[in-house]
Amino acid sequence: MSIEIYVEAAMVRKQRGRLVGAIAYTALDANGCIDDEDWEPVDYVVDQAYLDLSALAFGLKHARDSDVIYSSSDYCVKGFNEWLGGWKRRDWRNANKETIANADLWRLVEEISKNKNVEVRKVAACSAGKDAAYRYALAVANRQL
């Protein structure tokens, strides 16, 4: 049975301008009921793309064959579906032979996903699964969970 996994990331600025964040996922079963949920704080945030990619890797760790992962990040969706194979063939370099951004996380995403048959799709703007995952991530980033 396929599960829909929604991954989200949230970033907040703390005192002295330090950025902290969190990643979360919510898994919905075929009836739209929450099957599983989890979250994790991220104490060192490089940028939003790094945080979004961390959320994708987090969702992939929990995914099983035939699951569908939804992300609001174009970077993650296009990276997974269109660019990942080429980056791997070129030893994690882009077409200009420069090392890709977040190469360490893209390697992790590739490693986690290589033995799983999962889809990564762009999430609709208003989705209960997306909203729930984001609320968890924001609460964790603000240290409320």
pLDDT bucket at 1, cuts 50 / 70 / 90:
low
Q: Domain-by-domain residue ranges, the chain?
A: 4-142
Q: What is the pLDDT of residues 9-46, one digit of tens each?
A: 999 988 788 889 999 999 999 998 999 999 999 988 88
CATH 3.30.420.10 at 4-142, yes or no: yes
Has this prediction a pTM greater than 0.85? yes
Q: What is the pLDDT of residues 52-108, one digit of tens each?
A: 999 999 999 999 999 999 999 999 999 999 999 999 999 999 989 999 999 999 999
Per the CB < 8 A criterion, the answer to whether 106 and 56 are in contact is no
Residue partners of 32: CB distance under 8 A and separation at least 6: 128
Per the CB < 8 A criterion, the answer to whether 115 and 108 are in contact is no
